[in-house]
Structure 1
Amino acid sequence: MRASVSRPPTPDADEEMEPEPTLQEIINIKLIESGEKERLKELLRERLIECGWRDELKAQCRAFTRKKGRGNITVDELVRTITPKGRAMVPDIVKAELLQRIRTFLMTDSS
């Protein structure tokens, strides 16, 4: 005699539906579709270069690499170590400018 196969219960039709996108996902989609995300990324690049953030981050990468030794470090390890520092170093004025640009985009887009 053969044993029955244990199967998970069949999901209801309601459970098969994809979850509603979050507000963050909706905003991201609008930014991408309009091309605004690329414009914001370019603005961020410019502002970070202007304020010296990029040079400071390069210096931190070099210092970390010297400390650990070139042969003893992976790119992943460098990224894991430097990313939190880099995020913390972004000037508040740059963050505020980007946030304002996103708000303006959303206000004009929803009209």
Structure 2
Amino acid sequence: MHSSILLFFSTCPTHAFAEKIGVTPQFISDVERAVVGISVPTLKKVCLTLGCSSDFLIFGKADSSYLSSITQKIQYMSEGQLKAAEQVIDIMADSIPKNDKDKDKK
């Protein structure tokens, strides 16, 4: 799991998360252990609650529409602004725990 999702779970008990998405804590446990699958409507509720895409949950990557949105925002920046944006991205990337980066490469 990615650090942002782990942070969410560290601040939101399983029963509270289960209540938010309309399932039982046992169901969440069963999904985590791959005992049961998850329906598309429930996956959508999970994504909306966590504020992430299903691609991110499953593959650990942002969906292309989100990346396209970022591209649109930076396409008219000056060279100096782009360098500053790259520095910010580098700082953020360096702050991600090493094990999360390694998982994305697989």
Common fold: TM-score over 0.5:
no
Q: Give the TM-score, by structure 1 length.
A: 0.28
If the length of structure 2 is used for normalisation, what is the TM-score?
0.30
